[in-house]
């Protein structure tokens, strides 16, 4: 006790605060500098080498990047990822908004429905995708429901093999993820809906606006923060698609590379071909795409979150 | 609301609930079905059997207990690491003044921008050099290192500490508490909700993660549940009941956690969208 008292006499309160501050951030900052910052620059470094299983052989400059854009499978992966993002983002956002509007109304059981709608978002992608593969099998429940409604699934263009036909595999995964992520999107919209001031809508109703007009001209514009957030997180998540693709289509994104995504492509380059330099270059390309989207999001939102407030 | 409107409204809610819940009931039902019944459309099995559970608890290698223990072990260690580092750094960034603080916090925000897929190749190279890509127990360290800290959690903790009223500290300051005592006696005890949020989301994320385990874990005795499901799905391609048993068993803990911690999860969704 006497010792600490002496120390506090030697160090001013300000110095002591700074001392504790550095102590508290030292290990976290060391980890960030190693696991994120250092790793980031190491990724760029590796991407400029012909780097095989025995380590780097020679510096190839930007050749790995050039190689990527001349590989038809990589271009296919980019096309798949873009197609996936372009479809899944609007669907999951619209569905999330719709569900949020449904459970936001003052009705009995809205808590139950909110939990039920969020339910698919909590399980692991491994569990859900495996379940989905089972339900979508040619003899599975999905085709059973179609047959119940009189669809002759055996004579469909894909014989009801939704995930093993290259024409429908990606769309099936889009359906899967629209279903699983819409619950999360619903929560984002709910959060925004609960902050809305109802006086605008009430005033509009007094002026004789219809329910539809209130929605399109009042509610939708006021939900702009949620729209931007949901679309940005949705796009970033969509470009990182990996779990569902490898579970349903294996490492090749079968059938016929229809489930090959950019991340799956990195996985292949790294662990099947052991082209670490090349794989790293693809990682950097993916980062640049995601980074640009994030910057776009930040600029749309304003820079509030970026300033360390005092 | 008119009656017709009200009924159609409920019909819609119930319809979508069916879409979200029935698939899970189907996996539960299938896990109790004998193989002949798998593709039949009955939700209640005609001849329910525990065979699939006997398979996943006994016959498969690694068995369910091993997968479960690995998932639990990894998730718990990562939760503890995230809590410690996020609380320490979050508090320092929110409440302590020291030269260079804002620059360091800017670095943390920058780390949020780096996707795991970019870290894959360099991280793997580093882990190989450190000798952590192996079939021994030190292989777990590879996962712990990769997931040791989360910039998003530091950010979340900082935001929470920023909103805590200064008066709470002032009383303790008058009693002569230094910055360290303020942290342990005032800030931490009052941060229970955000600590719970960080713990639940980290647990869920680590428990459900397939990406890193599928890349780092070398020995089947180290596999986690999602990785086990991926592997066994290939092995038992047409024998669905044991796979569905794994799906059910891996989802139950996360469902329990969600039911128990629902308000914390919803809190963070609110927090993260408010920050946007």
Q: What whole-number distance in Å separates Cα of residue A258 and Cα of residue A245?
A: 9
* Structure tokens that stand for B207 in this block: 């428990």
* ipTM, 2 dp: 0.90
B117–A286 CB contact, under 8 Å:
yes
* CATH 1.10.3720.10 assigned to A66-302: yes
Residue tagged 């996962």 (tokens) = B143
B101–A21 CB contact, under 8 Å:
yes
At A31 the pLDDT is: 97
Q: What whole-number distance in Å separates Cα of residue A283 and Cα of residue A236?
A: 14
Q: Please report, rounded to a whole number, the percentage of residues in chain A having pLDDT higher than 70.
A: 93
B96–A192 CB contact, under 8 Å:
no
Widest distance between CA atoms in chain A: 88
A134–B117 CB contact, under 8 Å:
no
Q: What is the reported pTM? A: 0.90
Average of per-residue pLDDT across A280-285: 96
Question: Which of A31-40, A55-64, B170-179 bottoms out in mean pLDDT, i.e. has the lowest?
Answer: B170-179
Which residues in A lie closer than 8 A to residue B121 (C-beta atoms)?
A: 43, 46, 266, 270, 276, 279-280, 283
CB of B15 less than 8 A from some CB of A: no
Residue tagged 């391609």 (tokens) = B237
At B186 the pLDDT is: 87
Phi first, then psi: what are they for A168, rounded to 5°?
-120, -10
Nearest-CA distance from A94 to chain B in Å? 14
> Which residue blocks in B132-239 are alpha helix, DSSP H?
139-146, 151-163, 166-174, 179-181, 192-208, 211-216, 225-235
What are the residues facing A59 on neighbouring strands? Answer: A49
What are the residues facing A131 on neighbouring strands? Answer: none
End-to-end CA, chain B = 34
Distances in Å between the Cα of A150 and the Cα atoms of A135, A138, A155, B39 are 18, 16, 12, 18
Which residues in A lie closer than 8 A to residue B141 (C-beta atoms)?
A: none
Minimal CA–CA distance to A132: which of B20, B22, B23, B39?
Answer: B23
The 3-class SS string of A99-120 reads HHHHHHCCCCCHHHHHHHHHHH
Each residue's pLDDT tens digit, A125-147: 999 999 999 999 988 889 989 99
B113–A291 CB contact, under 8 Å:
yes
CATH number assigned to the domain covering B24-275: 1.10.3720.10
pLDDT band with cut points at 50, 70 and 90 for residue A4: low
Q: What whole-number distance in Å separates Cα of residue A87 and Cα of residue A79?
A: 12
Phi first, then psi: what are they for A156, rounded to 5°?
-65, 160
Nearest-CA distance from B153 to chain A in Å? 11
Cis (ω within 30 of 0) for the bond into B95?
A: no
Q: What whole-number distance in Å separates Cα of residue B91 and Cα of residue A90?
A: 38
At B205 the pLDDT is: 93
CA atoms within 13 A on the CB side of A162: 23
H/E stretch holding B257: helix B240-275
Q: What does the domain layout of chain A look like in residue ranges?
A: 10-63, 66-302
Query: Could you say which residues of chain B have pLDDT below 50?
Result: 273-276
Q: Please report, rounded to a whole number, the percentage of residues in chain A having pLDDT higher than 90.
A: 52
Query: DSSP characters for chain A?
Result: -HHHHHHHHHS-HHHHHHHHHHHHHHHHHHHHIIIIIIHHHHHHHHHTEEEETTEEEEE-TTHHHHHHHT-HHHHHHHHHHHHHHHHHHHHHHHHHHHHHHHHHSS-TTHHHHHHHHHGGGTS-HHHHHHHHHHHTSTTSHHHHHHHHTT--GGGSTTTT-TTTSTTTHHHHHHHHHHHHHHHHHHHHHHHHHTT--THHHHHHHHTT--HHHHIIIIIHHHTHHHHHHHHHHHHHHHHT--HHHHHHHTTTTSSTTTT--HHHHHHHHHHTS--HHHHHHHHHHHHHHHHHHHHHHHHHH-SGGGS---
CB of B210 less than 8 A from some CB of A: yes
Q: What whole-number distance in Å separates Cα of residue B260 and Cα of residue B272?
A: 21
Average of per-residue pLDDT across A4-22: 75
Each residue's pLDDT tens digit, A82-114: 999 999 999 999 999 999 998 888 778 888 898
């Amino acid at each position: 006790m006497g010792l600490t008292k002496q120390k506090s006499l030697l160090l001013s309160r300000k110095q002591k605060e700074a001392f504790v501050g550095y102590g508290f951030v030292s290990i976290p900052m060391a980890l960030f500098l190693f696991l994120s910052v250092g790793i980031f620059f190491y990724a760029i470094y590796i991407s400029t080498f012909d780097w095989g299983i025995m380590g780097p052989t020679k510096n190839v400059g930007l050749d790995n990047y050039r190689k990527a854009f001349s590989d038809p499978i990589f271009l296919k992966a980019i096309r798949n990822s873009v197609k996936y993002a372009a479809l899944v983002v609007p669907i999951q956002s619209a569905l999330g908004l719709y569900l949020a509007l449904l459970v936001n109304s003052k009705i009995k059981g809205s808590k139950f429905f909110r939990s039920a709608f969020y339910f698919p978002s909590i399980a692991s992608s491994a569990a859900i995708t495996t379940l989905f593969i089972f339900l979508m099998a040619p003899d599975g429940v999905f085709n059973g429901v179609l047959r119940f409604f009189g669809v002759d699934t055996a004579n469909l263009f894909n014989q009801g093999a939704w995930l093993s036909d290259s024409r429908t595999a990606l769309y099936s995964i889009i359906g899967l993820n629209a279903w699983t992520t819409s619950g999360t999107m619903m929560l984002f919209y709910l959060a925004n809906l609960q902050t809305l001031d109802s006086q605008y809508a009430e005033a509009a109703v007094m002026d004789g606006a219809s329910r539809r007009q209130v929605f399109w001209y009042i509610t939708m514009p006021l939900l702009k923060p949620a729209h931007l957030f949901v679309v940005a997180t949705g796009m970033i998540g969509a470009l990182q698609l990996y779990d569902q693709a490898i579970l349903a289509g294996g490492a090749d994104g079968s059938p016929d590379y229809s489930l090959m995504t950019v991340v799956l492509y990195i996985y292949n380059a790294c662990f099947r071909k052991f082209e670490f330099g090349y794989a790293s270059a693809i990682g950097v390309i993916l980062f640049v795409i995601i980074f640009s989207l994030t910057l776009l999001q930040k600029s749309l939102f304003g820079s509030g979150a970026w300033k360390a407030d005092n | 609301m008119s009656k017709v409107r009200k009924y159609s409204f409920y019909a819609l809610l119930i319809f979508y609930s069916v879409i979200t819940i029935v698939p899970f009931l189907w996996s539960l039902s299938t896990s109790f079905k004998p193989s002949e019944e798998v593709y039949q459309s009955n939700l209640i099995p005609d001849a329910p059997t525990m065979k699939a559970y006997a398979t996943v608890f006994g016959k498969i290698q690694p068995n369910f207990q091993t997968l479960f223990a690995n998932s639990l072990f990894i998730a718990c260690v990562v939760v503890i690491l995230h809590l410690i580092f996020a609380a320490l750094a979050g508090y320092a960034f929110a409440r302590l003044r020291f030269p260079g603080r804002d620059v360091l916090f800017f670095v943390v925000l920058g780390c949020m921008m780096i996707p795991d897929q970019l870290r894959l190749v360099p991280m793997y190279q580093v882990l190989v050099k450190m000798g952590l890509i192996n079939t021994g127990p030190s292989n777990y360290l590879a996962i712990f290192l990769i997931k040791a800290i989360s910039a998003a959690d530091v950010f979340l903790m900082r935001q929470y500490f920023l909103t805590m009223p200064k008066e709470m500290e002032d009383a303790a300051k008058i009693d002569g508490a230094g910055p360290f005592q303020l942290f342990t006696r005032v800030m931490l005890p009052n941060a229970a909700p955000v600590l719970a949020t960080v713990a639940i989301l980290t647990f869920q994320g680590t428990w459900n993660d397939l990406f890193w385990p599928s890349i780092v874990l070398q020995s089947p005795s180290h596999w986690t549940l999602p990785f086990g499901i991926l592997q066994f799905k290939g092995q038992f391609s047409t024998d669905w009941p044991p796979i569905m048993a794994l799906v059910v068993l891996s989802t139950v803990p996360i469902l329990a956690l969600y039911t128990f911690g629902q308000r914390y999860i919803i809190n963070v969704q609110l927090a993260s969208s408010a920050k946007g």
